[in-house]
Chain A
Amino acid sequence: MTLAPGRKKEKLDRLAELSAVHDDERGVSLWQEALRRLRRNPAAIVGAVILTVFVLVAVIGPFLVPHEPTDTMGIREGVVKSGQGLIPGPSADHWLGYDHQGRDEFSRMVVGARQTLLVGIVATLIGLTIGVLIGGVAGAAAGLGGRWGRLVDSVLMRIVDMMLSLPSLLLAVSVAALLGPGLTTVMIAVGVVSVPIFARLLRGSMIAQANRDYVVAASSLGVRESKIAISHILPNSLAPVIVQATLTLATAIIEVAALSFLGLGNPDSAVPEWGLMLADAQPYLGIRPELAIYPAVGIIITALGFTLLGEAMREALDPKLRR
């Protein structure tokens, strides 16, 4: 067996390279790794693109719309007579036509994007805040253990279980009875319904984290419990909560639409919001179904964007899927 000298050198270099012990491999953090995998997931990219467009429209759109979204110009000019089934469709001036009150549908869709996003975010934030508070306290209490710890944990989780038995509609109905219909009602109802999910998720992952070897190691090294909870357990437990928040944004937008449809939303339809626009379009389905289709498609695509991104994030952060 003879090798050309050059080739042999090459082989021996390869040998040396392979002989080097791999202890200098750099650890990649959970988030870096997750981000790397997100970028390779087409669903995540589609979701991110949808959301970017949506957020851009919501933020800048309202400054650029061709018409005032509350201006009932169609009725003023006499071209819209919804009572007689007269709602003109798209034209050069009104790209999506008029709505049933003679307002420019395109401008309403654009401004509605902002409202829809705001309502969704506020609702999710309500749920997230309360849920994280309850779940965090319960998780910490369960982690501390002892009679009181367990008691606090089980009382809180009982309450959460009870909340779990309340469909959003029910809650919205109850809140609306107290506050009257309106966006606040809807946001509170939709937000509160998501509380149990956040609370359970955070508590569950905190307990799981607390049993991890690295936490046990930290506490055996004498690191204070509060420090462990704040600097180790919480950040690592928040990942699933953030993913859930993304997914909840999708459901929030849909739920808001459903509640608006039932008449629990803003009674003043002047401020455009997709759910409300969809609800308002129902009587005119026979004349101009597009009035329902535009906001519906808007809702579907936006919800899809949040869902795609959320699911992709969940997949990317799932340690079980990592190789």
Chain B
Amino acid sequence: MFRFIVRRLLQLVPTLFGLSILLFIWLHRLPGGPETALLGERGTPESRAQIRESLGLDEPLPIQYGRFVKRLVQLDLGTSISTKREVTTEFLQRFPGTVELTITAMIIAIGVGIPLGYLAARRRGSILDQASVGGSLLGTCIPIFFLAYVLKAIFAENLGWFPTIGRQDASINATHITNFFVLDGLLTREWDAAADAIWHLVLPGIALASIPLAIIVRITRASVLEVLGEDFVRTAEAKGLTERTVRRRHVLRNAMLPVATSIGLLTGLLLSGAVLTETVFAFSGIGAFIKDAISNLDYPVLMGFIMIIAVVFALVNLLVDVSYSLIDPRVRVR
């Protein structure tokens, strides 16, 4: 297993290498060149020259690329044009919120999606089945920012069940260590702070979960249906095993394989979706920050965003591969 993980990590290297080249080309193709990109339109001639020198823009391309990679590895992503702060610092402060939201959405999507997909498959043709198939088709067709607005209008503004905006009520005055507000609340034993942070996660979490949920329901259902028709499930039934054993050991364990793959692919979707959802709920993750960066063409921030997403995506896929190989012995042997 250890060797498997190492091998998968090594396979990341060419991917990251390719990505860094793309980023490098991208940076050079930006209107005005990298110095404009890193300084914005307002950069003085002196600061431009300084950047040109520090980036080594007058040197041959391979050396430039070497420096570029060195900076990436050192997490030196430059300074945000609009906030004038280190991009790395900005992300460290904001990204935890997005991670919390993404995890919440994933928990909702998996926690509801897998049981629902299983039940729908088991009771094929029932009302529950038809409702979940229809619901999941509809779920993929609703733009999530629209859903976010609808949820906010109904459950926050009209019914007042949930907070409308933000990550935590300002009046709570919580202590923040990691910037993961829920985690902070638990660490500092400020239970009300943690509860409030969770409360703020519910609506955006549901909105963000909608598409992954729909996809997981569909994949689980299809996969369970396929496994239910397999001979080994009949063997398990012929052994007189309890329904619970048949379900967990024989049906779900096999049915989870395609679901695990899809969960890996959903990460990109979730991160894009997080930006949209956060904007609607003024949830201070990277969402609004990125939206502003787009309209201001804040290149250092955008580049940092690209890097972070690529790395997160790669890591999540590694995690998926590992869990896949934990479930399926055939992958390990290969």
Contacting chain B: which of A91-99, A120-128, A237-245, A297-305? A297-305
Q: Is there an interface contact between B26 and A289, defined as CB atoms closer than 8 Å?
A: no
Tell me, yes or no, whether B306 is within 8 Å of chain A by CB: yes
Q: Is the interface of B mostly helix, strand, loop or mixed?
A: helix
Chain A positions within 8 Å of B15 at CB level = 158, 161-162, 165
Inter-chain CA distance A287–B127, complex, in Å, is 39
Tell me, yes or no, whether B313 is within 8 Å of chain A by CB: yes
Q: Which residue of B lies closest to A169 (CB)?
A: B272
Q: Is there an interface contact between A167 and B268, defined as CB atoms closer than 8 Å?
A: yes
B143: contacting residue among A162, A165, A278, CB under 8 A: A278
Chain B positions within 8 Å of A170 at CB level = 268, 271-272, 305-306, 309-310
- Binary CB contact string for chain A from 242 to 284 against chain B (1 if under 8 A, 0 otherwise): 0000000011001001100111100000000001001000100
Q: Is there an interface contact between A262 and B146, defined as CB atoms closer than 8 Å?
A: no
Give, as a whole number of angstroms, the nearest-CB distance from A318 to chain B. 10
Q: Is there an interface contact between A158 and B18, defined as CB atoms closer than 8 Å?
A: yes
Q: Is there an interface contact between B291 and A262, defined as CB atoms closer than 8 Å?
A: yes
Q: Which residue of A lies closest to B14 (CB)?
A: A158
Q: Beyond A162-B18, A166-B310, A263-B295, is A174–B302 a contact (Cβ under 8 Å)?
A: yes
Chain B positions within 8 Å of A289 at CB level = 153
- Binary CB contact string for chain B from 7 to 37 against chain A (1 if under 8 A, 0 otherwise): 0000000110011000000100111000001
Chain B positions within 8 Å of A308 at CB level = 137
How many residues from A make CB contacts under 8 Å with B? Answer: 40
Chain B positions within 8 Å of A181 at CB level = 294
- Among B140-179, those with CB < 8 Å from A are 140-146, 149, 153
How many residues from B make CB contacts under 8 Å with A? Answer: 42
Inter-chain CA distance A264–B272, complex, in Å, is 13
Q: Is there an interface contact between B317 and A307, defined as CB atoms closer than 8 Å?
A: no
Chain B positions within 8 Å of A167 at CB level = 268-269, 271-272, 309, 313
Q: Is there an interface contact between B290 and A299, defined as CB atoms closer than 8 Å?
A: no
Give, as a whole number of angstroms, the nearest-CB distance from A179 to chain B. 9
- Among A156-187, those with CB < 8 Å from B are 158-159, 161-162, 164-170, 173-174, 176-178, 181
Q: Is there an interface contact between A261 and B294, defined as CB atoms closer than 8 Å?
A: no
- Among B290-316, those with CB < 8 Å from A are 290-291, 294-295, 297, 299, 302, 305-306, 309-310, 313-314
Give, as a whole number of angstroms, the nearest-CB distance from B24 to chain A. 12
Chain B positions within 8 Å of A290 at CB level = none
Tell me, yes or no, whether B275 is within 8 Å of chain A by CB: yes
Give, as a whole number of angstroms, the nearest-CB distance from B176 to chain A. 28
Chain B positions within 8 Å of A307 at CB level = 137, 140-141
Tell me, yes or no, whether B265 is within 8 Å of chain A by CB: yes
B-to-A contact residues, CB < 8 Å: 14-15, 18-19, 26, 29-31, 37, 137-138, 140-146, 149, 153, 265, 268-269, 271-272, 275-276, 279, 290-291, 294-295, 297, 299, 302, 305-306, 309-310, 313-314, 317
**Known interface pairs A261-B143, A278-B143, A285-B149; 12 further A-B residue pairs with C-beta atoms within 8 A, sorted by A's residue number:** A166-B268, A168-B268, A170-B309, A170-B310, A177-B297, A178-B26, A258-B143, A258-B145, A258-B276, A262-B279, A289-B153, A304-B138
The 8 sampled A-B contact pairs (Cβ below 8 Å) are A167-B268, A167-B269, A254-B141, A262-B279, A262-B291, A303-B141, A304-B138, A307-B140
